[in-house]
Chains A and B, each alone.
Chain A
Amino acid sequence: MRDGFDRTLVTWLASERPPREPDGLLRDVLATTAVTRRRPAWLVWDRWTWSASAVRVVRVVRVASAVALVGLLTAILWFVLTVVGGPRPATPFGLARPGFIAFDAEEGIVLTRADGSDRRTLSQGDGQAVNPTWSRDGLHLAYWHRSAETRSWDLVVVDEDGGNPVTVAHGLSLKARESTLNQPSNLSWSPDGERIAFAADVGDGSAIFVAELARAGPTLITDPRGRGLDPAWAPDGSVIAYQHSLTETLHAVAPDGTADRQLSDLRNTTLWPDWSPDGAQLLVTARVGSQYDIFAVSANGSIQVNVSDHPSDEFSPTWSPAGNRVAWARIPMDGSARAWVVTANPDGTNPVEIREPADLAPPGWSPDGTRIYSYVQAPDGTFQELIVLDPVGVEAVVRLPADGNIGNGNWQRRP
């Protein structure tokens, strides 16, 4: 059915159509065609595309092309989101954004933001999981796990979301620490986040090992007779400092096990040395007479300074991420608490004593240097709260309770 407009249109079109072609047009056409060579039929596109079946084929090809294009765009989008836009590594040293705090509790490895939000627990089957330690780039979390049936520990590495668990070392123990601290070795990540140094028993002694994420089986890098403990990977990745328990001195060894040497002649060192972010010096606990103090040792061992210089026993020093402050645990002389937290300049000046009843475990710094955390001792002597503190004040900012004896906090660095 044609309406009025259609009829008007047809009438107009008919009136606009010229009655005949211009003079000479047919002559020109025939003159041109008379000298035009025919093309072979197979060269003519219409032969292959202009038919009912060809139209259907073309349509199928078009639909297939559209589907392929959508698939390609989806793949590109996936690539952008997962590879380019996926988790980005933090810089291994210096200031960074704070991510999740990880600590061990009876329920397992707890991950939480400093304000207590987004809390979740990682579990690796049954058994016990301790000592969560973020890689320096914040992309992986390593921890020790042992099942209920076995007494040995496995070193497990997971992605930052707790997925993709990989066991990089298996069936280990460290009697020297398990007997006193009820946990195996500390974990020290290489700056590139691809290797982990730890200590483990070897026969009657203990040694430093390096496990690679990409390779099965750790590599022993020190002589077990030295009873190596407490590895600390230097920021430039070139050496690993560790406690040489046989001589009670600080040693350094290359990650491939070469160039093992005594780093300084400081005697009676103990427990967890800690590198400054610029790698120029280490903080270490050492006994002088009957008293433990904090010492700063230059990277080549030539300078040793007592930075705590206090009548109390002091342990477990840690550098702030910017390297402008240090913190450690101090046992109050009046015996009123197991420990307090002290922050100070790297040379020991301008100390601030935070009189929260804390643990002797190293106090931890937030990656942005604005917070510090430790563990609050309950009346029964257990530590059932992680406390986040203002490092220049005394007030708790947030308390993060958990069941059981908690410890080994570690704060994720984010880009």
Chain B
Amino acid sequence: MDRDLVERAMSGDHDAFSQLARASIGRLYGIAQLIVRDPDRASDATQEALVAAWRDLSALRDADRFEAWLHRLLIRACHREARMDRRRRAVEVHELPLDDTAGRDELPALHDRDQLERAFRRLGVEERAVIVLHHLEGFPLSEIAGILGIPIGTAKSRLHRGIRTMRATLDADARVIQIDRGRTA
């Protein structure tokens, strides 16, 4: 991230902030989409994070930490969206889209993806955020701890808890599949 742009944005230059937003919005949206698992909620979280960044940018003490701070704002926005989503889920029924074009040869891959999706959805936003930032964005745990403002031990435990939960879900699914296969054999 261009330090000069950040400093100009910090001093109130909206054009500079526009360039920063353009450079980061795709990445932020991708992270948000992975965490909240809903395109509309991801858009809302991304927008909320960037608006908060502009509104509070003067409070940033170190321009070099702009990107980390932006991630922090995004994760916070995802938390908020997830809370609203839980409330909304009481009156709405979400259905995962079925890919009708998938051929029989692709079925195992699609099945795995569904299982991963189901396992990932079982995680809380905290675990999802750490997994996405670590495994996809490549942040080391120490940096994630810094972004989220939590002890590194907490970041580690969230990552391990998330992976363990996903593994357990996938193992349980695998047992169910074996039983089903046994019945149809």
Binding site for B on A (CB under 8 A): 5-6, 8-10, 12-22, 25-26, 28-30, 32-34, 36-44, 46-47, 49-52, 54-55, 58-59
B179 at the interface (CB under 8 A from A): no
The interface stretch among B79-87, B91-99, B130-138 is: B130-138
Q: How many A-B residue pairs have CB under 8 A?
A: 121
- Mask, B105-148, CB within 8 Å of A = 1, is 00000001100110000000000000110011000000000100
| Also in contact, A33 and B39, with CB within 8 A (given A10-B136, A18-B33, A52-B146) | no
**Chain B residue at minimal CB-CB distance from A30:** B18
CB of A59 within 8 A of CB of B55, answer no
CB of B136 within 8 A of CB of A8, answer no
Cβ contact of A18, chosen from B29, B54, B167, cutoff 8 A = B29
| Also in contact, A21 and B59, with CB within 8 A (given A13-B34, A13-B136, A29-B21) | no
Cβ contact of A58, chosen from B59, B69, B113, B149, cutoff 8 A = B149
CB of A44 within 8 A of CB of B59, answer yes
CB of A46 within 8 A of CB of B50, answer no
Main secondary structure of the interface of B (DSSP, over half): helix
Cβ contact of B59, chosen from A16, A33, A39, A54, cutoff 8 A = A39
Query: For the side of the interface on B, what is the size category?
Result: 35 or more
CB of B56 within 8 A of CB of A26, answer no
CB of A25 within 8 A of CB of B46, answer yes
Interface centre among A5, A14, A30, A32, by most chain B C-beta atoms within 10 angstroms, is A30
11 A–B contacts, CB within 8 A, in A order: A5-B166, A8-B116, A13-B131, A19-B26, A26-B22, A33-B14, A34-B14, A40-B58, A41-B56, A51-B61, A55-B150
* A50 / chain B contacts, CB cutoff of 8 Å: 69, 72, 149
CB of B30 within 8 A of CB of A18, answer yes
**Chain A residue at minimal CB-CB distance from B147:** A50
* A30 / chain B contacts, CB cutoff of 8 Å: 18, 21
CB of A22 within 8 A of CB of B29, answer yes
Minimum C-beta distance from B11 to chain A (A)? 10
CB of B59 within 8 A of CB of A46, answer yes
